[in-house]
Structure 1
Amino acid sequence: MAQVAAIIGGGVIGGGWAARFLLAGWDVRVFDPDPEAERKIGEVLANARRSLPGLSDVAMPAEGKLSFHETMSEAVDGAIYIQESVPERLELKQKVYQTLQAHCAPDAVIGSSTSGFKPSELQGCASRPEQIVVTHPFNPVYLLPLVELVTTEANAPEVVQQAKDVLQGIGMYPLHLKREIDAHIADRFLEAVWREALWLINDGIATTEEIDNAIRYGFGLRWAQMGLFETYRVAGGEAGMRHFIAQFGPCLEWPWTKLMDVPDLTDELIDAIAGQSDAQSGHHSIRELERIRDNNLVSILRGLKAQDWGAGALLKARDKQIDPIPAQLDDVADLSKPILTVERAVPLDWTDYNGHMNEVRYLQAFGDATDRFMMMVGCDGDYIQSTGSYFTAETHIRHVDEVHAGATIRVETLCILGEGKKMHLFHQMFEGDRLLATGEHMLIHVSLETRKSSQPGPVVAERLARAAAAHSNLPRPEGLGAAVGKR
């Protein structure tokens, strides 16, 4: 039975929360008096379905059920987690909590998306202050993992842990602030940069585009994978952070910044900012900009994932947590059928200029299927370190049909031959019942010490022979043994 989350307020942030929970397998109940809420959340959800699954290299959980409700009392019925994302007005939020607590479960966590209010302010008029915490996310909520979890002494340890468990369970990183402060942590950094940027425009030093380029082509990329202090530690060279501070610390006394002051937001300054921003990005619609943003974020995050670093390491750990494919041959439910070796969404960066999956990605998917099959028969990391591995000697791929970003593909694998030094595999890639491609691969077992062909270890040989024997009774698939130009 799916877990239930209630979303109170379905704007940009609330819609992102709804998408994050839905695609993590939760049922989501939404309350928002805006008559356009269902349409707006539907558009956000469409973007999330297109981009979020591509961050995983394994199948996502089955999507939960989305429902819209006319009252908050209906929306919180059965919810074990409630996310409040109403406008930033303290009296409104406190009124919402009074209504929520009159109808929600006493042990449900109520998280607020507030970017500025402290949790003690939110808890002020509550009947159960221990139930309310700050859970401040970043847009787009369905892609960015950070959420600032801010608590007070009123929150019992079990409530804090429950909030952490929920947030981690939907693939987020809860940064727990044990002492509250206005605007938390991240927005205080953003505010500092924003103030300096206003001065640079006000004084005619830079345009909005020049400022954005300074960030996205420079330190923004470093911050995305290493943060502030680790970046500066590297900048200090072999001597580390101490050398960096000694070298650059005196700069803090120089008049490099106007952070202690801020220009008046005069009509002239507002017009300058708005006009420059229109010139910079006005040729794109908001939805186009969102898709461009999502494409870039997916590429950055998947790049970090390949390096097992920063937010990418979080994604990799999440994949291990939700991967439904057995790791061992003995765990395969029915060995007499083709073995499921890959099930995943096609990510945005796997598509080409034709709008469908690039041919090199078919090879990658089939290579991943081979790797998973090798692991199943015992040729895992430890085996490779101590004994040997299988090298691909020959590959033949048939491209049968096209597939696009966001589609869920699966690869089913037949072991055609598994004896001596040889492993002969035949992969079939599907979207639903539609055959997309086949990949036929001949691999040879190689000693990594001599770099020459060798006999596999007894465990691998036994499992491989068992898989081949089980699959020998299956009908020979179309395309097996085919060559280019021959049918």
Structure 2
Amino acid sequence: MSSDGPSKVAIIGGGVIGGGWAARFLLNGFDVSVFDPDPEAERKIGEVIANARRSLPALYDKPLPVEGALTFCDTLEEAVCEAIWVQESVPERLALKHETHAAISAAAGKGAIIGSSTSGFKPSELNEKGARAIVAHPFNPVYLLPLVELVGDKATCEKAAEILRSIGMYPLTVKKEIDAHIADRLLEAIWRESLWLVKDGVATTEDIDEAIRMGFGLRFAQMGLFETYRIAGGEAGMKHFMAQFGPALSWPWTKLMDVPEFNDELVGLIAGQSDAQSGAKSIRELERERDDNLVGILRALKVSDNASGKVVSAHEADLVVSGERDGLPVTLNRQVPSSWTDYNGHMNETFFLEAGSKATDGFMALIGADAAYIASGLSYFTVESHVRYLNEVHEGDRLTATSQLLSGQGKKMHLFHRLFRGDGELAATVETLLLHTDLKARRTCVPEGEVAEKLAEFERIHSGFDADGAGRFVGERPGSR
């Protein structure tokens, strides 16, 4: 975004992909204008954005930027006016794309990036009538999956990649233009083979889905194809794998160059099995289930700083927790993910303690005991905690914490965190005692320098604040002492 305020992005075509683009940009602080002649476009995009608001912030332990403004426009020209990025997501018909890009090129600013969500067409095909588009091909749901395949003019792709990284996406520049780019060519191979397996009665749609999600799909999520096969080669690595399994490529295992006829019989067979497999749930229910699972997988990969989780971590590093509440520093500001809730439908007690731990991390960063400090061999270890549960917290609630330093004398750091729901109600308090530790010697020691100075300053400032609830024993009631 520019220093003068939110930058504007235009979305042309508001289906599932266009709506996903709108959500990704909007929730990362961009103003978004949409043009789609479909009279149901506003409702459809609104439902996609509602799903995104529920899931995307749950990936992060910091707040996303203030949401941008969403505008639905009556004309394409109104939508693209002053936009720094125009994303076309109309149906995959080349004549329609030519018509749309001619209008975009005529109306958009000269410096605007014009991207196409096309899954198959090459830039040379999109631009053969004078347009200036690049391919910016995302994956559904766009607001959660980070990959965007970029194809086209090198300078424009580099500029596009910078913006995409700023909204938490992973731009992959395709080195040569080719039909269907990279990922869809791989998916097409699996799709073709799956159609034959169903048609020939070898497997049902559910069998195939189980084979993927119970097996190689889990490996691919964090290692991809070649790294997975490298491990399959054992200590001898990729050369051994290829020598052992290479001959199988000449065996008649697949029908990749042959496609079953798409007649009514095959369509009915596939559709009927799919209805039996998933028809009990609505599309919205399936989308929410998908999003919750993706958030869980992405957060797990974020912990290991691996694959797509590394993209989330890099984006989160640019997000900021700041501000004050009631004179105390805000050290946690995040959305409660579905994985933090239990069978009662509210936030599980375990995660109140995790929230307190994250607030402690936030306070440590304020006094200079940050990642660099820990890397130098010094940190704080928690030795005791006490949580009071005061109000229910539910999935999707905003959870904010303030931190009060009760004591920073000697080796000790005694903190009192207050956890607030988005409606302002106090949900819990977390009191915690930590000891400053030399990580190399594995012994406690007294902090020095900037950390000691900031502790003394915070203790002086916070000494005048009340700390109702601190110092209690478990089960204590008013007047029991």
TM-score (norm 1): 0.93
| Aligned equivalent of 2:134 | 133
Q: Which residue of 2 aligns with 1:417?
A: 407
- State the SS of the aligned residue for 2:403: strand
Gaps of 5+ in 2: none
| Structure 2 residue 240 is the aligned partner of structure 1 residue 237 | no
Report deviation, 1:436. 1.4
Q: Is 1:463 paired with 2:464?
A: no
Q: Aligned residue for 2:17? A: 13
Q: 1:109 aligns with which of 113, 125, 132?
A: 113
1:47 to 46, 51, 57: 51
- Once the 2 structures are TM-superposed, how far is the Cα of residue 378 of structure 1 from its aligned partner? 3.1
8 Å Cα contact 2:321/2:331 also seen in 1: no
By how many angstroms is 1:323 displaced?
Answer: 2.5
Residue matched to 2:272: 275
Letter in 1 for 2:295: V
Deviation at 1:370, TM superposition (A): 1.1
Relative distance call for 1:449 and 1:80 in structure 2 (3 A) is closer
SS at match of 2:408: strand
What is the RMSD computed on CA atoms of the aligned residues?
A: 1.8
One-letter amino acid matched to 2:425 = R
State the SS of the aligned residue for 2:155: helix
Residue among 244, 248, 263 paired with 2:245: 248
Alpha-carbon distance in 2 for matches of 1:137, 1:381: 33
**Contact persistence 2:123–2:135 (CA under 8 A):** yes
| Contact kept in structure 1, 2:114 and 2:134, CA below 8 Å | yes
Alignment partner of 1:419: what SS? coil
Residue 178 (structure 1) shift: 2.9
Match of 1:329 in 2: none
**For the residues of structure 2 that align with 1:287 and 1:386, how far apart are their CA atoms?**
48
Residues 40-79 of structure 1: pairs in structure 2 closer than 5 A: 40-79=44-83
- 1:121 alignment counterpart: 125
- Residue 148 of structure 2: aligned partner: 147
Contact persistence 2:321–2:330 (CA under 8 A): no
User: What is the Cα deviation at residue 160 of structure 1?
Assistant: 2.1
Determine the C-alpha separation between the residues in 2 that align with 1:37 and 1:450.
Answer: 62
The CA distance in 2 between the partners of 1:115 and 1:383, in whole Å, is 46
Distance 2:272 2:216 in 1: 26
**What does 1:431-442 correspond to in 2, within 5 Å?**
431-432=421-422, 433-442=424-433
Asked if the contact 1:336/1:470 (under 8 Å) is kept, the reply is no
1:220 aligns with 2:211: no
Q: CA deviation at 1:238?
A: 1.5
Q: CA deviation at 1:417?
A: 0.5
CA contact (8 A) 1:55 1:301 kept: yes
Per-residue CA distance 1:34-74 (angstroms, 9 max, x = gap): 11111111111110000000111111000000010110011
Where does residue 355 of structure 2 map in the other structure?
365
- Quick check: 1:81 aligned with 2:85? yes
Question: C-alpha distance in 2, partners of 1:374/1:78?
Answer: 42
How far does residue 374 in structure 1 lie from its aligned partner after superposition? 2.2
Contact kept in structure 1, 2:299 and 2:309, CA below 8 Å = yes
The separation in 2 between residues aligned to 1:134 and 1:229, in whole angstroms, is 25
User: Is the Cα–Cα contact under 8 Å of residues 112 and 133 in structure 1 kept in the other structure?
Assistant: yes
Measured against aligned partners, the alpha-carbon deviations of 1:288-312 in whole angstroms (never above 9, x if no partner) come to: 1111111111110001001100000
Q: Which moved more, 1:68-77 or 1:259-268?
A: 259-268
Which residue is 1:426 aligned to?
416
- What are structure 1's unaligned runs of at least 5 residues? 326-332
Shift in alpha-carbon separation, 1:268–1:407, aligned structure 2, 3 A: same
Q: Distance in 2 between matches of 1:265 and 1:302?
A: 39
User: Residues of 1 paired with 2:151 and 2:374: CA distance?
Assistant: 45
Residue 338 of structure 1 deviates from its aligned partner by 1.3
Residue 273 of structure 2 aligns to a residue whose secondary structure is helix
Native 8 Å contact 1:77 1:104 kept in 2:
yes
Measured after TM superposition, the shift of residue 452 of structure 1 is 4.3
Counterpart of 2:51, as a letter, is N
Q: 1:382 to 1:18 in 2, by over 3 A?
A: closer
In 1, are the aligned partners of 2:324 and 2:402 still within 8 Å (CA)? no
Pick which of 406-415 and 456-465 moved more: 456-465
| C-alpha distance in 1 between matches for 2:104 and 2:19 | 19
Once the two structures are superposed, residues 64-112 of structure 1 have per-residue CA deviations (whole angstroms, 9 ceiling, x without a partner) of 0001011001111111100001111111111111112222111111101
Number of aligned residue pairs:
472
* Cross-structure match for 1:401: 391
Alignment of 1:303-342 (within 5 A): 303-325=300-322, 337-342=327-332
| Residue of 189, 192, 197 corresponding to 1:192 | 189
